């Protein structure tokens, strides 16, 4: 067995990717969730996205949320932006960690932002220049990296092409998103392996959804390849817009539980995170899919009959 990394860096995406796929909650609740998350030991939080409120009404109050958040100086907060306009808004709000999403699948990219993948890639250099000029970093998140809800399989070559174009444009880091949970360990191994071969020094993060139950298996496969940067959402917030009732992002509690139990440090206090998970469930008003939120850490015993 390969050695696992001794430590991983988790990026909490519940406030953005999670809430984007829930019924809108109040600004106060979003602020409370972000403030609570920043006290759990998490060191990276994707706080908001600056998208058009007609496209994603859940994020319409991004500026307001961000202005009220009690910023923990030990946390790196990031914002997702769809285009130049969003980038300007994010930078005006003070964000210096920015993410742009481009779908490897043309159909998915068109459905999201009415442009082909190639058209979105053509915009990248300008976005990167604007970010860098303001001292901000820009990550490219490639969505549908392991499959598309409209097209099905997305060829690995196409995902690698998107990554290559991003690198050529000057992205600071890359993340692969498994938008609808279509990855399995062997697919993770292949894509990560080919990416590492092509771009050995590029910081690489992985963003898994648990739509088909394989989220933690994919994390484990990636860990064995030395990947030490993962996205997860508290409580497993957010569902899948294409599969009613299916899970969304992998749950941060589950990732923290598994990694810490294997001796891989996350820096996160699981008990504190579970409290925030229960808070998140109250805010969205339904039971979230996180299993550890139900069962607790493995140290939680019950009285014998």
Site residues (vs a second copy, CB under 8 A): 1-2, 4, 107, 110-111, 147-153, 180-182, 184-187, 189, 210-217, 219-221, 224, 240, 242-247, 251, 254, 257-258, 261-263, 287, 290-292, 294-296, 298-299, 301-305
For residue 222, CA distances in Å to 3, 9, 35, 72, 190 come to 12, 13, 30, 29, 10
Rounded to an integer, what is the distance from CA 111 to the centroid of its chain? 20
Residue 191 tokens read as: 């894509």
Q: Which is nearer to a second copy, 221 or 237 (CB)?
A: 221
Q: How far is the CB of 255 from a second copy (least distance, A)?
A: 9
Q: Which is nearer to a second copy, 72 or 107 (CB)?
A: 107
Whether 240 is a known active-site residue: answer yes
Contact assessment for residue 113 and residue 147, using Cβ atoms and an 8 Å cutoff: no
Q: How far is the CB of 85 from a second copy (least distance, A)?
A: 22
Q: How far is the CB of 178 from a second copy (least distance, A)?
A: 10
Taking the C-alpha atoms of residue 251 and residue 284, their distance in angstroms, rounded to an integer, is 15
Reported as half-sphere exposure (CB side, CA atoms, 13 A), residue 294 has a value of: 7
Q: Is the dihedral of CA 112, 115, 121, 125 positive or negative?
A: negative
Q: Which is nearer to a second copy, 131 or 192 (CB)?
A: 192
Q: Which is nearer to a second copy, 228 or 254 (CB)?
A: 254
Q: How far is the CB of 258 from a second copy (least distance, A)?
A: 5
Where in the sequence numbering do the catalytic residues fall?
240
């Amino acid at each position: 067995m390969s050695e696992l990394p001794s430590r991983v860096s988790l990026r909490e995406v519940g406030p953005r990717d999670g809430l984007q796929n829930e019924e809108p909650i109040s600004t106060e609740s979003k602020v409370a969730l972000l403030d609570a998350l920043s006290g759990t030991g998490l060191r990276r939080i994707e706080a908001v996205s600056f998208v058009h409120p007609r496209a994603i009404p859940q994020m319409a109050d991004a500026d307001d949320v961000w202005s009220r958040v009690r910023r923990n100086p030990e946390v790196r907060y990031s914002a997702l932006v769809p285009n130049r306009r969003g980038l300007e808004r994010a930078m005006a709000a003070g964000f210096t960690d920015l993410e742009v999403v481009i779908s490897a699948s043309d159909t998915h990219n068109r459905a999201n932002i009415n442009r082909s993948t190639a058209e979105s890639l053509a915009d990248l250099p300008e976005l990167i220049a604007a970010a860098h000029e303001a001292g901000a970093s820009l990550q490219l998140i490639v969505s549908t990296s392991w499959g598309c809800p409209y097209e099905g399989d997305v060829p690995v070559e196409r995902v690698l092409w998107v990554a290559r174009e991003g690198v050529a444009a000057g992205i600071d880091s890359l993340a692969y998103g498994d938008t609808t949970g279509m990855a399995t360990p062997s697919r993770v191994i292949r894509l990560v392996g080919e990416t590492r071969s092509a771009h050995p020094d590029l910081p690489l993060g992985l963003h898994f959804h648990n739509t088909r139950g394989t989220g933690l298996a994919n994390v484990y496969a990636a860990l064995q390849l030395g990947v030490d940067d993962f996205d997860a959402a508290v409580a497993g917030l957010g569902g899948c817009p294409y599969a009613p009732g299916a899970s969304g992002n992998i749950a941060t509690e589950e990732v923290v539980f598994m990694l810490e139990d294997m001796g891989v440090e996350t820096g996160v206090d699981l008990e504190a995170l579970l409290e925030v998970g229960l808070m998140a469930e109250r805010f969205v008003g339904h039971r979230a899919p996180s299993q550890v939120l139900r069962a607790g850490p493995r140290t939680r015993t019950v009285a014998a009959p």
